[in-house]
Amino acid sequence: MDFKNRAKAALIAAALAAVAAAGVTALLINIFERKQEAKNPFFRVVDLDEETEDPAVWGKDFPFQYDGYKRTSEMRPTRFGGSEAVSRVPTTEDPRKSVSRSKIEADPRLKTMWAGYSFAVDFRERRGHAYMLDDQTYTGRQKADPPGTCIHCHASVVVPYRKLGDGDLMKGFSKMNALHYTEARKLVSHPVSCIDCHDPKTMALRVTRPGFLEGIKALKASQGTKDYDPNLMASRQEMRSFVCGQCHVNYYFRKPDKRLVYPWTKGLTVEDAIAHLDKDKFQDWVHADTGANALKARHPEFELWNQGIHARAGVACADCHMPYKREGAMKISDHHVRSPLLNINRACQTCHKSPEEELKARVEAIQAKNERLRGEAMDAVVALIGDLKKAKDQGRKDPAFAWAGDLQRKSQFMVDFVCAENSEGFHAPQEAARILGRAMDLARQGQIVLRDAAFKPTEPLSGPQ
Amino acid sequence: MTAEKTVLLLFAALAGAGMGIGTYTFVYAKGTSYISNDPKVCDNCHIMNKEYDGWVKSTHHAAAVCNDCHTPHNLVGKYETKGLNGFWHSFYFTTGAYPDNIQIRKRNRSIAAANCRRCHSDIVHAVDGRYPKAQALDCLRCHSEVGH
């Protein structure tokens, strides 16, 4: 080997040695960082108290959690749920640059179901926590002049409620319910924030939404537990669902004070909700086509999950929607709350050892069946509404007509219960199918009783007349 | 000093630096511990916390350590597997490109499957008996969580 070749070989060898040394150094630094991180899981750089409303301040102490929280602004649909961002030209009335897809345009049957109600004007796909306040402030449903009650779940309310109630959360809640939305909106400034679910001193989970505190108390009272207070009596694992159940529930605005109430005095099933609302002689609106005293179901995620196998197995909302993740040597719960289908490894594979594609396929198989059944049930309700409209136009006011209207109220609420629920049936597939089957049955019975007054529907007429 | 000597010196210095850093990293990362059979070693970097905690409480705790199931039972195969896994673990931990719920690779899975049969041959030879190898039952399909 002559000098030139030897020099070349030496240079190549040196270059390789340099690359290897760089790689090993990267490993060394990595191990060093992990060891340091393991010593100090977090640094308190600012003091947090019951006045700290701004999540950015909490973010200084908990940057990884805050980072995930901010990422709820990402818009990524799954096969059956969510939405990609639909861009729009901002106006002075509505400065939003993007919205989610319209659900009522995608399925016009919803407009028939909600005829005469504000949901038939504007109703869109869900999107992340980051948008909750803007999407409520600028929805087309604002034309209906909603009450301040709505703020309960669309903003960080702990500090504003306490301020309005002179330190008393419940008093502030009652006061804000009585305001117009536009007035109440001026009192809040952030979407759901750290302080809504965490004690600022200990970081322990806590429930602060008055609607939930009253709802769960009524539910537990119906089961024989008096004066239930989740903040004192719930287990740590229960709290990992209760904090979500503060808002992801079915509710109504009790008349006449428009107080937010979770209809749980009889239990958590769809029939329990109807029984509660019947007893309260409540209707959300009078259906424009049929005159029926109609009900609107709202996202009963907590209730449906309660009927499912995951709840039965003790799996909490946070286990799948905020699973543990690793940030360096730290283990934190993922505050980028989203569909588990967008996070299968952390959300599902902690327990389910099958490959990601297989798990996704299993969920989508359930959701596809739910989608189909939901469509069939909605067809039945729309058919009943069509028949009732004809009967109303003919001037019918007989008992059979009233009974059919009551069956519309119930079957429609049942279909809505599954439609408005955010898991496309997954939280409790069998229960969702049972509800849709019952809805179909009641809607068709309504059609029969309109044609044959001698027919006795299996469900008594129990709603307000 | 000739040009050739300068180049060689440069090479020697670089190689020496590499070796120095390598040795330091090896010591700092408790490199020698990996030669042992102690299950705690497999949890040095905490990634295996869940698996280690599970094993402590599992039925196999009394009968087998990590290496009994996860490495072949011959000297060359054992250290070849440890070496390969050690390299890939270092690579993935440094880049961070791995899922939080770690996944076993095909090679390591077949080693573990073979080790089930090594200890439990008395039971499984009757199960396997008359079927060709391609149709052999996969112990881990049902018993994947037996070790941890």
- What residues of chain B lie within 8 A of the CB of A323, using their CB? 100
- In this predicted model, what pLDDT tens digit does every residue of A306-322 receive, in sequence order? 999 999 999 999 999 99
- In this predicted model, what pLDDT tens digit does every residue of A60-83 receive, in sequence order? 999 999 999 999 999 999 999 988
Contact A353 B94 (CB under 8 A): no
Percent of chain A with pLDDT over 90: 87
Q: Chain A: which residues have CB within 8 Å of chain B?
A: 3, 6-7, 10-11, 13-14, 17-18, 20-21, 23-28, 30-32, 34, 38, 323-326, 329, 345-346, 349-350, 353
Residue B90 has its nearest CB partner, among A7, A20, A27, at A27
Mind spelling out the 3-state secondary structure of chain A?
Answer: CCHHHHHHHHHHHHHHHHHHHHHHHHHHHHHHHHHHHHHCCCCCCCCCCCCCCCHHHHHHHCHHHHHHHHHHHCCCCCCCCCCCCEECCCCCCCCCCEECCEHHHHCCHHHHHCCCCHHHCCCECCCCHHHHHHHHHCCHHHHHCCEHHHHHHHCCCHHHHHHHCCCCHHHHHHHHHCCEHHHHHCCCCCCCCHHHHECCCCCCECCCCHHHHHHHHHHHHHCCCCCCCHHHHCCHHHHHHHHHHCCCCCCEEECCCCEEECCCCCCCCHHHHHHHHHHCCCCCEECCCCCCEECCCCCCHHHHHHCCHHHHCCCCHHHHHCCEEEECCEEEECCCCCCHHHCHHHHCCCCCCCCHHHHHHHHHHHHHHHHHHHHHHHHHHHHHHHHHHHHHHCCCCCHHHHHHHHHHHHHHHHHHHHHCCCCCCCCCHHHHHHHHHHHHHHHHHHHHHHHCCCCCCCCCCCCCC
Average pLDDT, chain A: 94
Contact B101 A345 (CB under 8 A): yes
Contact B15 A17 (CB under 8 A): yes
pLDDT at A447 over 70: yes
Q: How close, in Å, is residue A11 to chain B by CA atoms?
A: 7
Out of A15-24, A194-203, A453-462, B101-110, pick the least confident.
A15-24
pLDDT on residue A30: 87
**Testing the interface with B: which of A2, A4, A24 to mutate, by most B Cβ within 10 A?**
A24
Q: Is B57 touching A (CB cutoff 8 A)?
A: no
Q: How close, in Å, is residue B95 to chain A by CA atoms?
A: 9
| ipTM of predicted complex | 0.74
Q: What is the mean pLDDT of residues B110-137?
A: 83
- What residues of chain B lie within 8 A of the CB of A13, using their CB? 11, 15
pLDDT on residue B141: 87
pLDDT at A1 over 60: no
The model carries a pTM of 0.87
Q: Is B22 touching A (CB cutoff 8 A)?
A: yes
Q: Is B93 touching A (CB cutoff 8 A)?
A: yes
- In this predicted model, what pLDDT tens digit does every residue of A167-211 receive, in sequence order? 999 999 999 999 999 999 999 999 999 999 999 999 999 999 999
- Give the residue, A145 or B7, on which the prediction is more confident: A145
Q: Is B1 touching A (CB cutoff 8 A)?
A: no
Minimal-distance CA residue of chain A relative to B4:
A7
Residue B21 has its nearest CB partner, among A11, A21, A346, at A21
